[in-house]
Every structure is written in C-alpha cells, then in structure tokens.
Amino acid sequence: MLGVAFGEPGFAVDTHVTRLTGLLRLTYATDPVKIEEDVCSIVPPSEWTGLSLRLILHGRRICVANRPRCHECVLADICPSAYLGLAKPRTGPPHRVPKAR
C-alpha cells in the first residue's frame, strides 16, 4: 500500500509472489521475509512495487496455481518451469543434470 499510495519502494510477498518467484527461480526460499530479501537484492528499489503487483496479477491471470497457462505466458521462453506442469516450484537447483551411469 505504501508503494502504490505514497511511492515508497516495497516488495509485498503474498501467495502468488511466493509461488512465482520460486517458479521463475528468483529465489529458493519459502519464507516471505527471505523471499523479499532475495528479490530485493537483485531488483532495484524503483521496481519493487511494480514487480510485486505484476507478479500478483500474473499469478491470478496466467500462471494460475495448479494450471499454469504456459502457452499464453510471455515469460515462457525464459521461465525454468515452463511447460513442466508444476503447481509449486521444485526444490533444489534448476536443470540438474543426472549423473552418467
């Protein structure tokens, strides 16, 4: 609210932001405070409020929990979770290569 009403930079973390920051591999954290720290460390303050709002809308309209619409998503080309049908972010590093046998 401070960001929208008064222009104070802030990164709100709700369930959509938690899910999307994980799917997009912006963080591996699940704790909202840690998610905020991780994202705010890689995004300039001027973008915090807008990014949070965009993630919330994206989570409501496109990257819907349990049925992400990757075929309609503008992030599909860069999203590590695209077309994997994930309802929640995977734990662990992305694109882990299996050991050769």
Q: Which stretches of the chain bind ligand SF4, using CB under 6 A? A: 23-24, 62-63, 68-70, 73, 75-76, 79, 81-82
What's the min distance (Å) between Cβ of 68 and ligand SF4? 4
Residue showing tokens 């994206």: 58
Pick from 65, 56, 58: nearest CA to 89: 65
3-state secondary structure string, 73-94? Answer: CCCCCCCCCCCCCCCCCCCCCC
What's the min distance (Å) between Cβ of 95 and ligand SF4? 14
What's the min distance (Å) between Cβ of 99 and ligand SF4? 27
